[in-house]
Structure 1
């Protein structure tokens, strides 16, 4: 990206005109008698007409008298302005100067300049012949030394191309050609091809594989803040048509299709032409509008913007984020069947590094709602992103940028209020929340208790008779609606063999909004596992808990434990376990609502509070309001009675 200050070091044999070029640039005229070496000259931005120029450019004059000083300046340079003026100084470009740069380990752009071309300022008749000679000088150096960015002819005496040479020095830093174009083979480099293909896909809004006039205009406006001139657009079309004709370089390659637009190949060829003709700042304008750096990667500050999330807050999608993801889903649902199949998902993720790792680990798309053909639905798509944003919002911000979200990714997210801790009956508990829409529930229980089936049932899938042990953590996310029409997203997580490690990790437990402790009501050995967990991990008693007896459709058995489930929950001042079966839809719905309500109002679902202290905070506030209203009414009544009785008092007197 554009640097605030760049250092341009002028070097070359004595007498080639280094000092004269600097003075001619700064003064705008030629001065004959000058000192041998000038002090560094700082040129501010407004001196240059280029809108991409840095804030300051420092021109450093050098002498060959003191090699150590010259080497020090070269090592501090951002770009080297190498000057020669005759055959002898031209020979030393290869034999001495380029070898010196390499011996110093410099990897800097070099602008090669042939100075004292005074006749060009006078437009002499010999200009064409001399141009051919100088081209023959430039081409071998350009081919042999990749460091040489470009070559130019100048004259300090006649002001010929002095400003242009200075601009080329700036441009080699602000718009480097090296990352874009390989001059040796005459092709765009692989990374820029990859970036331009992505930009083409994002700009092709109707997904027809062509950039129409409207899409080209929109791209121009996004990249350069102005509409493309109709004559320039027609010139681009003619150029692409001409070079794709038979016997031309791109014979047989469709670059532009009348009535349809520019193809992907045409878009790449157009940018290759810009690079070949020295207009690569146009390509950079396109790349930078899409947040690309000089290394052709998307800027980290765009992918991962600073986002201060308090420890007890959570991150959710904002209405603008949901709207963008809905539009994205609808755009790629090409068959309008309400689901994204494998092909449509592949097209959607073409502009990204692929599926997020979190999704692959959670068995996407089966971690959320899919239709009968296994295609993710809009409901599942939004639920998946709600889960992703809650668990790791950086994934969401990065993928919003990959998908082409044109604003700061932070506006697509919102941070919930920090969760407070309150004290009741000598214990702390989490306060209720009103602004959260996404809750995280850990499903914990003995193996074979039915946790996986519970996750499957949550996603509306039929019960499977075959048992498959959980080898790695699983997640399921879905939306549900509570009374009053409010919609929430609930994340269910099962950890398999990692369960104990998760329960020991206090940082992980902070991300848990509610704990669902489940056991198999038909297995006499199942409940003792939960009793042991609660007694072992005291931190569990600081969380809201819902106890669940699964497989309620089977015969209930006495638990082989020193305490039975109902007695244990009563000891903790908790509700008795809910009896649930994956084959009873109504019981499942009751459970998921219960889990969400426990996350919304943790106080009455946290173990250890006697019944008299378990006052619903909402009811408590309502009671306070009723008491306040009653007191206010009595006060008003008293005041009115006093006013009415006051005249009678005076009459009796």
Structure 2
């Protein structure tokens, strides 16, 4: 286990319960009849604890005038030791009535170890047993902050070291993330997050993927976690215990997942949390049952604004295999139940919450996830938060090199230069902003990318108030979206290089205004490859809004954003006057004519391909805005000025040389 920082243990309780005596007995192994009122902080070095963790034990004063100082000390503690004794009956009652409410008031969330001190005063063991059963156990059930209860006697030096060892374990081996203590039902249970983490451990150890850990696999696991294999008789004993309690915990192949979970639940119930935590930490988990940042640090990238993180071929191959494994009914789709099972080795499904819950990908008619949609969602995750993609691939069981999951694309200038070489790999993920007013057809265009019927897409778009909505799908080499050729999807190798995924992100008029007035507008636009400006071809005002917005966005991008106009609802026909205005505007901006499309007639294919073409070959789609023309005119003027300045300088230089030549002749003649 990695070296841990000092654990700060605060000792609190009513006056006279023995706080100072307990600390003194632990530190000096002696009992003092006249301890001081309060001790300075007591430090126990790492070699004094079985886990090699240094402790700092903080005594607290019971004087009212010291209350503020005591509160500051308590707030800084990692764990609280709360004492009570039988010779002071109020000390137990005040656990519920004062001390725990006081910790809540101070917002102290550190675990609490309850300590019954002065057990040497209890002559009858039956009394001690009844006290724990009738009073202490119900108190712990009412207050989940209490981790455990320990009894000790400082005067007899009985269990004094165990008090602080138990408190320390509550910090480095906490029970709260792993186990739900017994409530009113009287039955405790292992928490779902702990089950998911242990499920992943089991999956990684089940090398032959037969759903059971063989004796060989058990020994590899045991050696990895505890540096020693199991003896044959130990394996027999484990299997006997499991088979007696869990009928399906043992199969003819070995220890099953249910048996593995049962064993860890047994460790936890018996107070051997260090065993389960040793397993979890060996597989990279922290106290929050998520992978430590150190597990994924090597995969961190630093993309520039014109780069994007993309899944590698190895990562896509792994994901396709996980899709196949999760597809239990072999229908090439993932139902909600199959998706739940897929994420059973992760803390949660990341796709159930923003930003992923608002992303459209290809699904079947029942809403089940297709292979195309599955890979598209992962491509989106890698492009928007590559560290989340790395972490979640590890949760799904990826065992390759951590640096082989995502890679950075080339910068846009490098990408354009590389296109002169047909063998050079191209950017796999392209981002497009789709601007337009209400009713311009943005939502329908997004839905069409993933094969969603136009009426469903427009309905979903009108109901989406949770922020920007995106759609992601693969564009094949012929220019069709993946949904356009779903019948051929089995022939498509999604793991092969050379695939292109297109993201469309919808931007409303209000969203466009916020973007253009943002101080980081240019940086935000730099993260996208192309922009589409939609207008309703039956409404001239819609076109004027799109044109104004196009010029504003192009200017804000530094005149580097390729832009296309898209005329929606082409089935309604375009007004001749609007058609003339469109032509004049495109000539003025040096842009191609608007792409006419009717999603009702299924004509989205050409739009998506044109967007990809514009992103990959932007020179023909950069609008010649007023600012760009002014910049070009300025550069031309500067070139002309420099040219004439150069000509003038050359003329002056030539005249000077001629003058020197002529003036030197009389002198030469005179000398001769």
TM range (shorter): 0.5 to 0.7
> Where does residue 546 of structure 1 map in the other structure?
564
Tell me if 1:600 matches 2:616.
Answer: yes
> Where does residue 390 of structure 1 map in the other structure?
383
Task: Report the Cα distance in structure 2 between the residues aligned to 1:281 and 1:235, rounded to whole angstroms.
Answer: 21
Tell me if 1:182 matches 2:171.
Answer: no
Tell me if 1:355 matches 2:352.
Answer: yes
Task: Report the Cα distance in structure 2 between the residues aligned to 1:228 and 1:416, rounded to whole angstroms.
Answer: 48
> Where does residue 73 of structure 2 map in the other structure?
76
Which structure has more helix as a fraction of its residues?
Answer: 2
Task: Report the Cα distance in structure 2 between the residues aligned to 1:318 and 1:240, rounded to whole angstroms.
Answer: 42
Tell whether the 8 Å contact from 1:7 to 1:58 is kept in structure 2 after alignment: yes
> Where does residue 515 of structure 1 map in the other structure?
531
Q: 1:163 to 1:407 in 2, by over 3 A?
A: farther
User: Could you give the per-residue CA deviations for residues 568-593 of structure 1, whole angstroms, max 9, x where no partner exists?
Assistant: 322212234556677999x9766544
> Where does residue 334 of structure 1 map in the other structure?
328
Aligned pair partner of 2:251 in 258, 279, 283: 258
1:49 CA displacement: 1.9
Tell whether the 8 Å contact from 1:116 to 1:156 is kept in structure 2 after alignment: no
> Where does residue 150 of structure 2 map in the other structure?
151
Instruction: Give 3-state SS (helix, strand or coil) of 2:472's partner.
Output: strand
> Where does residue 473 of structure 2 map in the other structure?
478
After the TM superposition, which residues 323-472 of structure 1 pair with which residues of structure 2 at under 5 Å, given as runs?
Answer: 323-350=317-344, 351=346, 352-353=348-349, 355-362=352-359, 364=360, 367-368=361-362, 370=363, 375-391=368-384, 396=389, 399-400=392-393, 403=396, 412-416=405-409, 436-444=427-435, 458-459=449-450, 471=462, 472=464
> Where does residue 668 of structure 2 map in the other structure?
none
Task: Report the Cα distance in structure 1 between the residues aligned to 2:441 and 2:11, rounded to whole angstroms.
Answer: 73
Tell me if 1:534 matches 2:547.
Answer: yes
1:383 CA displacement: 1.7
Task: Report the Cα distance in structure 2 between the residues aligned to 1:567 and 1:321, rounded to whole angstroms.
Answer: 48
User: Could you give the per-residue CA deviations for residues 207-228 of structure 1, whole angstroms, max 9, x where no partner exists?
Assistant: 8876666776676677667666
1:607 CA displacement: 0.9
Tell me if 1:280 matches 2:280.
Answer: no
> Where does residue 636 of structure 2 map in the other structure?
none
1:237 CA displacement: 2.5
> Where does residue 236 of structure 1 map in the other structure?
238
Instruction: Give 3-state SS (helix, strand or coil) of 1:275's partner.
Output: helix
> Where does residue 51 of structure 2 map in the other structure?
50
Task: Report the Cα distance in structure 2 between the residues aligned to 1:450 and 1:402, rounded to whole angstroms.
Answer: 39
User: Could you give the per-residue CA deviations for residues 291-325 of structure 1, whole angstroms, max 9, x where no partner exists?
Assistant: 7766x664796999887665554443355643443
Tell whether the 8 Å contact from 2:113 to 2:148 is kept in structure 1 after alignment: yes
Aligned pair partner of 2:503 in 491, 503, 516: 491
Q: 1:152 to 1:449 in 2, by over 3 A?
A: closer
Instruction: Give 3-state SS (helix, strand or coil) of 1:334's partner.
Output: coil
Aligned pair partner of 1:563 in 572, 580, 586: 580
Aligned pair partner of 1:164 in 143, 162, 169: 162
Tell whether the 8 Å contact from 2:11 to 2:19 is kept in structure 1 after alignment: no
Task: Report the Cα distance in structure 2 between the residues aligned to 1:184 and 1:386, rounded to whole angstroms.
Answer: 44
User: Could you give the per-residue CA deviations for residues 495-544 of structure 1, whole angstroms, max 9, x where no partner exists?
Assistant: 6xx35643662346555421234567xx6x45763344213553233321
Aligned pair partner of 2:512 in 502, 527, 548: 502
Q: 1:48 to 1:453 in 2, by over 3 A?
A: closer
Tell whether the 8 Å contact from 1:434 to 1:600 is kept in structure 2 after alignment: no
Q: 1:515 to 1:74 in 2, by over 3 A?
A: closer
Task: Report the Cα distance in structure 2 between the residues aligned to 1:114 and 1:466, rounded to whole angstroms.
Answer: 68
Q: 1:143 to 1:607 in 2, by over 3 A?
A: same
How many residue pairs get aligned? The number is 559
Q: 1:277 to 1:477 in 2, by over 3 A?
A: closer
State TM-score, norm by structure 1. Answer: 0.67
Tell whether the 8 Å contact from 1:349 to 1:355 is kept in structure 2 after alignment: no
Instruction: Give 3-state SS (helix, strand or coil) of 2:501's partner.
Output: strand
Tell whether the 8 Å contact from 1:573 to 1:607 is kept in structure 2 after alignment: yes
Unaligned runs of 5+ residues in structure 1 are 119-126, 245-252, 422-432, 614-653
Q: 1:467 to 1:201 in 2, by over 3 A?
A: closer
Farther off after superposition, 31-40 or 592-601: 31-40
Tell whether the 8 Å contact from 1:10 to 1:59 is kept in structure 2 after alignment: no
Q: 1:63 to 1:500 in 2, by over 3 A?
A: closer
Task: Report the Cα distance in structure 2 between the residues aligned to 1:546 and 1:308, rounded to whole angstroms.
Answer: 30
Tell whether the 8 Å contact from 2:430 to 2:501 is kept in structure 1 after alignment: yes
Tell whether the 8 Å contact from 2:31 to 2:154 is kept in structure 1 after alignment: no
Task: Report the Cα distance in structure 1 between the residues aligned to 2:220 and 2:263, rounded to whole angstroms.
Answer: 17
1:45 CA displacement: 1.9
Aligned pair partner of 2:9 in 7, 10, 15: 7
Farther off after superposition, 39-48 or 467-476: 467-476
Task: Report the Cα distance in structure 2 between the residues aligned to 1:88 and 1:449, rounded to whole angstroms.
Answer: 80
Tell whether the 8 Å contact from 2:334 to 2:370 is kept in structure 1 after alignment: yes
Task: Report the Cα distance in structure 1 between the residues aligned to 2:365 and 2:80, rounded to whole angstroms.
Answer: 65
Unaligned runs of 5+ residues in structure 2 are 141-145, 415-423, 479-495, 633-672
Tell whether the 8 Å contact from 2:250 to 2:259 is kept in structure 1 after alignment: no
Task: Report the Cα distance in structure 1 between the residues aligned to 2:273 and 2:186, rounded to whole angstroms.
Answer: 13
Tell whether the 8 Å contact from 1:449 to 1:526 is kept in structure 2 after alignment: no
Farther off after superposition, 339-348 or 446-455: 446-455
Instruction: Give 3-state SS (helix, strand or coil) of 1:76's partner.
Output: helix
User: Could you give the per-residue CA deviations for residues 49-75 of structure 1, whole angstroms, max 9, x where no partner exists?
Assistant: 215x3xx312345676x4644885476
> Where does residue 625 of structure 1 map in the other structure?
none
Task: Report the Cα distance in structure 2 between the residues aligned to 1:347 and 1:568, rounded to whole angstroms.
Answer: 54
1:606 CA displacement: 0.5
Tell whether the 8 Å contact from 1:181 to 1:275 is kept in structure 2 after alignment: no
> Where does residue 110 of structure 1 map in the other structure?
113
1:175 CA displacement: 2.6
Task: Report the Cα distance in structure 1 between the residues aligned to 2:188 and 2:588, rounded to whole angstroms.
Answer: 70
Q: 1:35 to 1:155 in 2, by over 3 A?
A: closer
Q: 1:297 to 1:50 in 2, by over 3 A?
A: closer
Q: 1:281 to 1:444 in 2, by over 3 A?
A: same
Task: Report the Cα distance in structure 2 between the residues aligned to 1:333 and 1:282, rounded to whole angstroms.
Answer: 34
Task: Report the Cα distance in structure 2 between the residues aligned to 1:216 and 1:188, rounded to whole angstroms.
Answer: 29
User: Could you give the per-residue CA deviations for residues 426-448 of structure 1, whole angstroms, max 9, x where no partner exists?
Assistant: xxxxxxx9874211223456888
What root-mean-square deviation, in Å, do the aligned CA atoms of Structure 1 and Structure 2 show?
5.2
1:490 CA displacement: 1.2
Tell whether the 8 Å contact from 2:284 to 2:292 is kept in structure 1 after alignment: no
Task: Report the Cα distance in structure 2 between the residues aligned to 1:400 and 1:459, rounded to whole angstroms.
Answer: 24
Q: 1:602 to 1:407 in 2, by over 3 A?
A: same
